[in-house]
DNA sequence: TTAGGCGCTGTTTTT
DNA sequence: CAGCGCCTAA
């Protein structure tokens, strides 16, 4: 191995990176230089004369692929690095499917449905079948279908699977198999694949077309898989098939960081690896270079509570470091203020940059309190995950036009834009077409040509034909214009740009700007592709494939990158920050209440916590709130069990009871105006009062009297607080904002969910939840 | 047909 | 507190 490369690795890393032929597995503890080893091994392969075209490197996220490519580029040059097949499972196999699609009767320009499209299709099918969508919840149904695909269970297999059928019968969803079959058929008729299909169909391709299998088996002489613990069965099998000839399969992972079991990832794959390649070489990376001793050892103490794990001892030579701080806050807003203050102070004290800080939470919904708190101190931040750029309505709308142009059978795209901007094609007309198409098992686009059969005529027919003509006019340019030029053309000629321009509200302007940004992205894309391959133009469908698989916020460069990062713990995997705040450390939040049922699920939560802690280089801070608003309602919380699970010696617990700042409802700082897009850089803002001492704790059901008080009836000027729960008793006369005077007949349920049956002379008998009804006792 | 209002319901995590 | 779906009024 190249001497210079060699010198930059430790012994264990070097051994793994220098490995040439034969299967190998690297078990790499957090922060042990896993990516480094992968990059160096690839660099070593290339320097040893292996053609980059013969190397396949699979990662889990776009981010990881990009980073790896850059690192390899630095080691062996960008030219070589570019030729390596490196990317996510989904993007690599989308690329291969596109080459081979005619074998499985898919159009070359097949579209990729994102989760929203897929769920929408499921929903339509459930509706068309006349099923109750309260029993067949589209999201749940979709998840089940998804997990089938990840386990390579086709609709036909499903019908034959007694266990699945029995399970469905038991849960009262006997039509599940039928929905799955219909869903699959509809995707096919639409020339579309969902995310899972990219793996499923690849397996079909490799199974049914030996010549294809052979070609790729020989092409990919070396296969490397990152984050192997997160692969599912479909991915496992692809790797196994492709690697079967050369057996130069290298997998890298950490069982302690397996956090995607919920989506079909299977630790079993690691065991299968031993079985499939009995002669494999095993390397363990146990030295952590990222974190302090405190963090490494605390993390070890956490993960040791798990039963399922591969033995390893992660250690570090780094300094001892500061203890893990635990903070108790009174409310979720206080937690936000604490974190934001700490960031402010730490930045001063340690001379750190904003980008050295991360706020990690279990669910995306938790970000709000932190956004507000950071804004108060003018701290710049960036939220990762959540609604991505490509999921915004205006972007999806324009993309739908693109999709329809490339693939007119794309049902979801068609439904999205056939009447947007409004062109007088209403629900009735569309329904006729959808039903007709479903009956004939053809696409809606094909159904349009036979509109008369389902009674679409007159004005409606004319409008539709105009629409068809427009799309066809776009199609003419598919091979003449590049993605950018055609994209621009479509944006203006579809009427979308004009429609958005008409809206002069700040939100409307933002939407218009987003479209411009998308077009800018297309320009960049087109220029780049044409630079790489000067003989052909960058087509619109190339762009669509790229975009469909680009989910996480990859467009980081908006000039100023010194920002605090906020993201879910899942999103933080693979990243590191000097200072990490893990927030919302509460029972039922983290660990999630959905994980309380089984040991396996709890262990996954614990691994998630392990991932969170090990993101920190210098210091980790845990915080929790005693009460927080959850789905619009105050609820009380207990500290997470995970706090106790950390060996005490590494902790700095709160000494005094948390200082109580203003509870929600009378917090004057909430009077701030302005709206949040939840995305853009924070705007400079006048300093709001930091902390308002709270005179008295209001009752839990305290609600500020809104400015939009009822305009008639008694109580107009009555600003007295609403009645507390114990004042409401059967027989008591009460006053309601809308229904007026009434008499309590009975009560049921327990606080805070007490429901009262009240008779109102003006409105009749009503059942009201006390926590919502602002009742006043007369 | 469309827009706007009201009431219901729901919160993991992501390619 | 949202976001969504359904309903109603124009």
Instruction: Tell me the C-alpha distance between A422 and A426, whole Å.
Output: 9
Nearby residues of A571 by Cβ (< 8 Å), 6 or more positions away: A384, A385, A552
CA A404 from centre of chain: 25
Check whether residue A315 has its CB closer than 7 Å to nucleic acid strand C.
no
C-alpha A356 chain-centroid distance: 23
Task: Provide φ and ψ at A326, rounded to 5°.
Answer: -115, 130
A675 touches strand C (CB under 7 A): no
3-state secondary structure of A251: strand
- The pLDDT score that the predictor gives to residue A766 is 53
> For A156-195, how does the pLDDT look when each residue is reduced to its tens digit (9 = 90+)?
999 999 999 998 888 888 899 999 999 999 999 999 999 9
Instruction: Report which of residues A293 and A457 the model is more confident about.
Output: A293
pLDDT of residue A156: 95
Q: What is the pLDDT of residue A128?
A: 85
Nucleotide with the nearest C1' to A194 CA: B15
Residue A502: what pLDDT? 81
What is the rounded distance in angstroms from the CA atom of residue A378 to the CA atom of residue A687? Answer: 9
A261: nt with nearest C1' to CA: B13
pLDDT in tens, A285-314: 999 999 999 999 999 999 999 987 888 889
Which nt sits closest to A595, CA to C1'? Answer: B12
B6 C1' to A547 CA distance, Å? 37
pLDDT of residue A723: 45
How high is the pLDDT of residue A742?
62
What mean pLDDT value characterizes chain A? 83
CA–CA dist A14, A6 (Å, integer) = 6
Strands of A247-314 (E only): list them. Answer: 249-253, 281-285, 287-288
Give residue A430's pLDDT.
Answer: 86
Kind and range of the H or E element at A447?
Answer: helix A444-448
Q: How confident is the model at residue A693 (pLDDT cuts 50, 70, 90)?
A: very low
Residue A209 CB lies within 7 Å of the nucleic strand C = no
CA-CA distance, A84 to A43, in Å (whole number)?
11
The spacing between the Cα labelled CA in A587 and the C1' in C5, in angstroms, equals 33
- Please check the confidence at residue A721 and state whether its pLDDT lies above 60: no
Q: Is the pLDDT of residue A698 over 60?
A: no
Q: Could you give the CA distance from residue A769 to residue A445 in angstroms, rounded to a whole number?
A: 49
Catalytic residues of A: 34-35, 226-227, 257, 615
Peptide bond just before A600 cis, omega within 30 deg = no
Taking only the tens place, the pLDDT of each residue in A517-571 is 899 999 999 998 888 777 788 899 999 988 888 765 555 555 568 999 999 999 8
Strand A111-113 relative to strand A192-194, pairing: parallel
Q: What is the model's pLDDT at position A347?
A: 96
Q: State residue A348's pLDDT score.
A: 95
Angle at which helices A233-243 and A268-276 cross, to 10°: 20
Question: Is A380's pLDDT higher than 90?
Answer: yes
Residue with tokens 């098992």: A441
Alpha helices in A53-114 (DSSP H): 62-76, 78-82, 89-100
Q: What is the mean pLDDT of residues A5-22?
A: 90
Single out the residue of A220, A215, A213 nearest to residue A52, CA to CA: A220
Q: What residues approach strand B to within 7 A at the CB?
A: A 60-62, 88-91, 115, 134, 139, 195-196, 259, 262-263, 362-365, 385, 419, 422-429, 460, 549, 551-552, 567-568, 570-571, 592, 594-595, 601, 630-632
Provide the whole-model pTM. Answer: 0.81
Q: Which nucleotides of chain C have an atom under 7 angstroms from any protein CB?
A: 1-2, 5-6
- pLDDT tens digits, residue range A53-82? 999 999 988 888 888 999 999 999 988 899
Joined together, the tokens standing for residue A635 give 């609820």
Give yes or no for residue A665 having a pLDDT over 70: no
Closest CA to A292 of A314, A319, A265, A267: A319
How far apart CA A495 and CA A670 sit, in angstroms, is 40
> Mean pLDDT: which of A131-140, A254-263, A400-409 is highest?
A400-409
């Amino acid at each position: 191995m190249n001497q210079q490369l060699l010198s930059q690795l430790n012994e264990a890393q070097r051994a793994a990176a220098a490995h040439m032929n034969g299967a190998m597995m690297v078990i790499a503890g957090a922060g042990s230089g896993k990516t480094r080893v992968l990059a160096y091994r690839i660099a070593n392969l290339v320097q040893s004369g292996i053609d980059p075209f013969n190397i396949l490197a699979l990662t889990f996220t776009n981010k990881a692929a990009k980073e790896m490519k850059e690192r390899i580029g630095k080691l062996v040059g960008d030219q070589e690095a570019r030729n390596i097949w490196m990317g996510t499972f989904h993007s690599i196999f989308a690329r291969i499917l596109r080459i081979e699609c005619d074998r499985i009767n898919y159009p070359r320009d097949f579209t990729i449905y994102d989760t929203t499209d897929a769920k929408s299709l499921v929903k339509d099918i459930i509706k068309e079948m006349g099923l109750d969508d309260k029993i067949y919840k589209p999201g749940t149904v979709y998840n089940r279908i998804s997990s089938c695909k990840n386990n390579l269970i086709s609709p036909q297999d499903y019908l034959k699977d007694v266990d699945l059928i029995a399970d469905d019968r038991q849960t009262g969803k006997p039509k599940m198999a039928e929905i799955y079959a219909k869903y699959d058929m509809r995707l096919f008729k639409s020339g579309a694949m969902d995310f899972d299909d990219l793996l499923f169909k690849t397996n079909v391709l490799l199974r049914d077309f030996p010549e294809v299998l052979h070609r790729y088996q020989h092409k990919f002489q070396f296969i490397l898989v990152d984050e192997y613990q997160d692969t599912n069965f479909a991915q496992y099998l692809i790797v196994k098939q492709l690697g079967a000839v050369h057996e130069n399969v290298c997998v890298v992972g950490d069982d302690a960081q397996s956090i995607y079991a919920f989506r079909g990832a299977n630790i079993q794959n690691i065991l299968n690896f031993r079985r499939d390649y009995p002669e494999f070489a095993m390397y363990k990376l146990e030295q952590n270079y990222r974190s302090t001793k405190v963090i490494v050892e605390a993390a070890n103490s956490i993960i040791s509570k798990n039963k399922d794990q591969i033995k390893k001892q992660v250690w570090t030579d780094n300094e001892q470091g500061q203890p893990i701080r635990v903070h108790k806050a009174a409310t979720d807003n206080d937690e936000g203020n604490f974190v934001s203050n700490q960031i402010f102070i730490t930045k001063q004290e340690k001379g750190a940059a904003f980008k050295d800080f991360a706020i990690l939470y279990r669910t995306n919904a938790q970000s709000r309190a932190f956004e507000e708190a950071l804004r108060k101190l003018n701290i710049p931040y960036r939220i990762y995950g959540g609604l991505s750029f490509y999921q915004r309505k205006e972007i999806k709308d324009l993309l739908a036009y693109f999709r329809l142009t490339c693939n007119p059978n794309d049902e979801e795209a068609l439904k999205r834009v056939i009447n947007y901007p409004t062109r007088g094609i209403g629900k009735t007309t569309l329904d006729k077409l959808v039903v007709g198409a479903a009956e004939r098992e053809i696409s809606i686009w094909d159904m349009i040509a036979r509109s008369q059969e389902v009674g679409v005529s007159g004005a409606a027919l004319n409008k539709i034909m105009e629409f068809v003509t427009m799309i066809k006019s776009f199609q003419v340019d598919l091979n003449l214009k590049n993605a950018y030029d055609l994209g621009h053309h479509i944006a203006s000629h579809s009427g979308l740009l004009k429609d958005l321009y008409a809206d002069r509200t700040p939100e409307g302007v933002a939407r218009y700007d987003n479209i411009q940004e998308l077009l800018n992205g297309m320009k960049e894309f087109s220029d780049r592709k044409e630079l790489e391959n000067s003989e052909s133009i960058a087509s619109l469908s190339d762009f669509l494939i790229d975009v469909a698989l680009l989910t996480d916020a990859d467009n980081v460069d908006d000039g100023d990158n010194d920002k605090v990062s906020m993201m879910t713990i899942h999103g933080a995997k693979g990243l590191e920050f000097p200072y990490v705040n893990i927030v919302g450390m509460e029972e039922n939040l983290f660990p999630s209440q959905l994980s309380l049922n089984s040991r396996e699920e709890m262990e996954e939560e614990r691994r998630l916590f392990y991932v969170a802690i090990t993101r920190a280089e210098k210091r980790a801070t845990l915080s929790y709130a005693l009460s927080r608003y959850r789905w619009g309602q105050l609820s009380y919380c207990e500290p997470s069990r995970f706090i106790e699970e950390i060996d005490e010696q590494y902790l700095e617990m709160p000494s005094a009871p948390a200082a109580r700042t203003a509870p929600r409802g009378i917090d004057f700082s909430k009077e701030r105006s302005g709206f949040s897009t939840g995305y853009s850089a924070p705007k400079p803002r006048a300093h709001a009062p930091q902390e308002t001492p709270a005179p008295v704790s209001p009752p839990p059901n305290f609600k500020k009297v809104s400015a939009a008080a009822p305009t008639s009836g008694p109580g107009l000027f009555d600003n007295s607080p609403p009645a507390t729960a114990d004042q409401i008793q059967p027989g008591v006369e009460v006053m309601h904002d809308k229904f007026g005077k009434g008499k309590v007949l009975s009560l049921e349920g327990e606080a805070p969910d007490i429901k009262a049956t009240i008779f109102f002379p003006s409105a009749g008998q009503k059942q009201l939840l006390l926590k919502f009804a602002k009742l006043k006792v007369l």
